[in-house]
Structure 1
Amino acid sequence: MSQGDGQPSRCHGRSHPLIATLLGPSVLFFQRFFRLMTALYDVAAIGNAIVDVIAQCDDAFLEREGLVKGSMALIDPARAASLYDVMSAAIEASGGSAANTVAGVASFGGKAAFLGKVADDQLGRVFRHDMNAIGCVFTTPPLAEGPATAQSLINVTPDAQRTMSTYLGACVELNPADVDPDIIEAAQISYLEGYLFDPPEARRAFAKAAALAHGSDRKIALTLSDSFVVDRHRGALLGFVETQCDIVFANAAEVCALFETDDFDAAVKALAERCEIAAVTRSEKGSVVAANGQLHEISAYPVEKVVDTTGAGDQYAAGFLFGLSQGRPLPICGQLGSLAAAEVIDHYGPRPQVSLRELAEKNGL
């Protein structure tokens, strides 16, 4: 459907203002209530299925290995093997940005599903077991032939900055056929991982998911993932945000990169003009949530010691999306996100080590 100026419509399955006027608020309330009651999942996520290998290092190690501090670089199998050999003792755990987010949603007590590609190998079976063990539905068929299950080698410096070197392996084989309509149409919110903007087939999978979600009057959320991703795909990302996204997550560097500006406030405003809800994190300064012409500033939860920032943005999205799926006000959604982020940076690893539901109750949320 197009508007009169030839630009794509951004209806996204939302109720038309005229319909809202004719039906009245009570009818629209029951429509929303019916959608909530018929949703099998609070959040379904599409992303890279990765096993994380997390180790401590110093800045000298990064320099020796030619790694850009705080970045995510894609590597081939040979580089993965050589880097692994020189890393210090590591912790291995199932990860991947969107997978971490739905793990957080499940920890809050939400109903979650994940779509991503693993190989039919040992790491792939470990990943599947880990997702099912936390109560997250993961039914995407494994890759029978081809590259191995992905792994991300994460080196964490004493200042808690993480530098990721990722071998995507089977992840890049995700395609539209892997997008299960029964899951997307039954999820209140489908959350898409920006890292998957690199493989063309995965991008087409995103388009299919957006069509399915909006056709069922559901929401699409996107995380920009990394400023390097934004630099590579700025035009395509902007087009996707403007025409397909209801909710967009970013950090300060990513949102400024998207609009090629150093003016944070201007970048947030520009993003909010292109989607329903813009949630932008800014480390110890907390986050800002922009929607309906309003700006909500959310404080960061205090942390005694920042150990590892891996997964902070993923868990912020988990708390925010869980709150949104439960009909909570946007400031509360932001607070739930901040709480989850604070929990995960207090230890190594990108997923919660305590029940986020219990933690939220303890903090009055």
Structure 2
Amino acid sequence: MRALICGSMAYDTIMVFQDRFKNHILPDQVHILNVSFLVPEMRREFGGCAGNIAYNLKLLGGEPVPMATVGEDFGPYRDWLDRHGVDRSHVMQVPGSYTGQAFITTDLDDNQITAFHPGAMNEAHRNSVADAGAVDIGIVAPDGREGMLQHAREFAEGGVPFIFDPGQGLPLFGKAELLEFIQQATWITANDYEIEMLQARTGLSAGDIAKRVEALIITRGSKGSSIYTGGHRIDIPSVKTAAVNDPTGCGDAYRAGLLYGLLHELDWPVTGRIASLMGGIKIEHHGTQNHHFTREQFEQRFIAEFGHGF
């Protein structure tokens, strides 16, 4: 069962400033801001929504097919995907461009200054859903604006059920476009901040949105998540974690769990708990694709967390 994952692939360069930004930024001088931060600690991670979701779904034993556009610097990421058995036949390299890049500097108060270069991501519309052949399910995750619009339309026209996951791409769209996404999607997932923005931009309540799709899934971090479907609300608990090291990518891990449950026609309480556990495992590790487990290990932890298997 193949899942087509439309979204971004990116490198995340993460730097740690061993001080506090507030000690080096003068509030009354921000109009002539010119600062430099020494960052002795730095790491480069593989990221992007399509890459993260595909990696996590592969860990669960799924068959992810990421669809993304990347640049000429994709070599290390390509080798990483190959090493983990992720199909990259629909990852298109765009000549003369860089793969999407996020440069993140964090201070000792966990404040962040981020610069993002979309690079080849802006060419996502060069890929077509039809090129992937037969797929069982899809997801439209944050990507280039035109690519997100096109891929949602192609899923709908092709009769492929898909999740609309606007994420950080939500501000790219106006009311009419968001209403069209909602009309086309089979399921919608968003975190608690994103659902507030989606409601504000569309004029619809969460209940209104839920009525227009088979399920609306809202994640709330450590407070768990809620699934609105068939006029009911199903609350999914968060899991107990050994550590809270890095929340980046937890939403993508959660979405991989959703895809797995939907592909295997599991009920929503089980699907939500698989997703919740995926997010919990991710948060224990730095980076978005540095966690590992076997199927047996995952099943054992699921039983330990929830008291039953799946």
TM range (shorter): 0.7 to 0.9
Describe how 1:327-342 pairs up with structure 2 within 5 A.
327-342=265-280
* Residue 60 of structure 1: how far off its partner (Å): 2.6
Q: 1:88 to 1:341 in 2, by over 3 A?
A: farther
Distance in structure 1 (CA, Å) of the matches to 2:94 and 2:102: 19
Distance in structure 2 (CA, Å) of the matches to 1:158 and 1:337: 30
Describe how 1:348-359 pairs up with structure 2 within 5 A.
348-355=286-293, 357-359=295-297
Q: 1:143 aligns with which of 78, 82, 94?
A: 94
* Residue 223 of structure 1: how far off its partner (Å): 0.8
Equivalent residue letter for 1:141: M
Give 1:347's aligned residue: 285
* Residue 291 of structure 1: how far off its partner (Å): 1.0
Equivalent residue letter for 2:65: A
**Which ranges in structure 1 are unaligned for 5 or more consecutive residues?**
1-38, 67-81
Give 1:56's aligned residue: 16
Q: 1:232 to 1:173 in 2, by over 3 A?
A: closer
Cα contact 2:227–2:233 (8 A) shared by 1? yes
Q: 1:192 to 1:180 in 2, by over 3 A?
A: closer
Q: 1:234 to 1:355 in 2, by over 3 A?
A: farther
Q: 1:91 to 1:330 in 2, by over 3 A?
A: same
Q: 1:156 to 1:357 in 2, by over 3 A?
A: farther
Q: 1:96 aligns with which of 21, 40, 48?
A: 48
* Residue 138 of structure 1: how far off its partner (Å): 1.0
Distance in structure 1 (CA, Å) of the matches to 2:282 and 2:296: 15
Q: 2:61 aligns with which of 109, 115, 135?
A: 109
- Percent identity of the aligned residues? 22
Count the aligned residue pairs: 293
Q: 1:351 to 1:246 in 2, by over 3 A?
A: same
Please report the TM-score for the alignment, with normalisation by the length of structure 1: 0.72
Equivalent residue letter for 1:223: D
Q: 1:97 to 1:156 in 2, by over 3 A?
A: farther
After superposition, give the CA deviation of every residue in 1:245-304 in whole Å (9 maximum; x if it has no partner): 00111000000111129xxxx943232122111111001110001111111000000123
Cα contact 1:104–1:356 (8 A) shared by 2? no
Cα contact 1:104–1:352 (8 A) shared by 2? no
Whether 1:178 aligns to 2:138 is: no
After superposition, give the CA deviation of every residue in 1:64-121 in whole Å (9 maximum; x if it has no partner): 589xxxxxxxxxxxxxxx99985442221221012201110000010111111112x2
Give 1:132's aligned residue: 82
Give 2:207's aligned residue: 269
Deviation larger for 47-56 or 287-296: 47-56
Deviation larger for 285-294 or 159-168: 159-168
Distance in structure 1 (CA, Å) of the matches to 2:218 and 2:113: 21
Q: Cα RMSD (Å) of the superposition? A: 2.8
Distance in structure 2 (CA, Å) of the matches to 1:157 and 1:297: 35
After superposition, give the CA deviation of every residue in 1:287-330 in whole Å (9 maximum; x if it has no partner): 00111111100000012321111001111111111111111111
Please report the TM-score for the alignment, with normalisation by the length of structure 2: 0.84
* Residue 57 of structure 1: how far off its partner (Å): 4.2
Whether 1:252 aligns to 2:197 is: no
